Amino acid sequence: MKDKHSKIFIAGRNGMVGSSIEIEFRKRGYEKIIGLNSKELDLRNQADVEDYFSKEKPEYVILAAAKVGGIMANMKSPAEFLYDNLAIQNNVIHCSYKFNIKKLLFLASSCIYPRLSPQPMKEEYLLDGKVEPTNEGYAIAKIAGLKMCEMYNKQYGTNFISVMPCNIYGIGDNFDPQKSHVVAGLIRKFHEAKIENKEYVEVWGTGDARRELMFNEDLADACIFLFESYSGDNFFNVGTGKDISIKHLAYLIKKAVGFDGDIKFDITKPDGMPQKLLDVSRLKDSGWVNKTELEDGIRKTYGWFLKHHT
């Protein structure tokens, strides 16, 4: 896809990932980006989604809409994570077939891989074992979505591609302490502890779990790179190729925020998957490289938080 006048529907346009994809598209000169927020269009409603496709007639679709959240949100509402995501992706993927979309890119997640997968995780490890129970609903939905893309290509000859991003953080993230992912959650906790002169900050789990963390602008860049350059039956892991322990991450965030107190690990809270590191050679071999180092990404995200949440 190179025509800058093409009409592109970003489902989830206002989310952290969708909005960064829109910014990257616009930087590259794409002008006709469409998409509504969840109040204007409930993507879980099949009739509404069909109506939107038939009125707007998009040519390309980025499926970045999803019910997302950190480890606690996933554990609290597994049914919602399963149902909302299945409904959204069923409607958007099926309509993309029905309305002859030229290409669709589906964003899944690295949590599709087995909990005890060998590390780093290669694309072919999918369905080799049981997924992590703390996010099973979300993972099962995302596996169904990527299989749906694969099977629609096989049976209907569509051009639907999927990416599996590692843990994403960044500009526009959700900083709600109970619902957020680890980077946004800890930025908020350390910031509030600094303002309130607290003695320590509580970090969930043992601190030993390891995560691969990518800045949302880099994910957006990778998505557009693949959207412009790849058609076929492979799906792609998208990550930095490096992971970090939650303990080390907590120290980086403490430093970036400028908090002087201690860190305590609350081992009554879960670690989730022990390690989640993607093998990104398939993406690297296609010529894509990650740009933002973790320290830089944390600094930018904290700057955004200060502007918008204080």
What amino acid positions are annotated as catalytic residues? Answer: 138
CB of 154 to ligand GDP, least distance (A): 30
Q: How far is the CB of 25 from ligand GDP (least distance, A)?
A: 27
Residue 135 is a binding residue for ligand GDP (CB under 6 A): yes
Among 269, 286, 299, 304, binds ligand GDP (CB under 6 A): 269
DSSP 291: -
Positive or negative torsion for Cα 87, 136, 109, 36: positive
Q: Which is nearer to ligand GDP, 209 or 219 (CB)?
A: 209
**Residue number, 35 or 185, with CB nearest to ligand GDP:** 185
User: What string marks each residue from 169 to 208 as x (binds ligand GDP by CB under 6 A) or -?
Assistant: -----------xxx--xx--x-------------xxx---
> Is 239 an interacting residue with respect to ligand GDP (CB under 6 A)?
no
How near is the Cβ of 232 to ligand GDP at its closest, in Å? 29
State which of positions 90-129 bind ligand GDP (CB under 6 A).
none
Cβ distance 91 to 145 under 8 Å?
A: no
Q: Which residues contact 264 (CB under 8 A, 6 or more apart)?
A: 200, 201, 202, 203
What is the rounded end-to-end Cα distance, in angstroms, of the chain?
41
Pairwise CA distance, residues 113 & 110, whole Å:
6
Minimum CB separation of residue 22 from ligand GDP in Å reads: 24
Q: Please report whether residue 167 would count as binding ligand GDP according to CB under 6 A.
A: yes
Distance CA 194, CA 176 (A): 17
Give me the sign of the Cα torsion angle 263, 264, 270, 272. positive
> What is the enclosing helix (H) or strand (E) of 106?
strand 103-107
Output 58 or 69, the one with its CB closest to ligand GDP.
Answer: 69
Dist CA 160 CA 165 (whole Å): 16
Identify residues 206-235 at the interface with ligand GDP (CB under 6 A): 209, 211
Among 60, 56, 54, which residue's Cα sits nearest to residue 22?
60
Measured over the CA atoms of residue 63, residue 64, residue 70 and residue 76, the dihedral's sign is: negative
- Tell me how far, at minimum, the Cβ of 106 lies from ligand GDP, in Å: 19
* Cis peptide bond N-terminal to 120, omega within 30: yes
- Under rule CB under 6 A, how many of the chain's residues touch ligand GDP? 20
Q: Is 146 helix (H, G, I), strand (E, B) or coil?
A: helix
Q: Let me know: does 278 contact 121? Beta carbons within 8 Å.
A: yes
Q: Given the complex with ligand GDP, which of 246 and 256 has the nearer CB atom? A: 246
* Nearer of residues 99 and 304 to ligand GDP, judged by Cβ: 304
CA 256, 259, 261, 266 torsion: positive or negative?
Answer: negative
CA 105-142-12 angle, to 5 degrees, is: 50
Give the range of 17-25, 93-101, 235-243, 267-275 binding ligand GDP by CB under 6 A: 267-275
Q: Which is nearer to ligand GDP, 65 or 68 (CB)?
A: 68
Q: Min. distance of Cβ 61 from ligand GDP in angstroms?
A: 26
| Residues making contact with ligand GDP (CB under 6 A) | 70-71, 135, 167, 180-182, 185-186, 189, 203-205, 209, 211, 246, 269-272
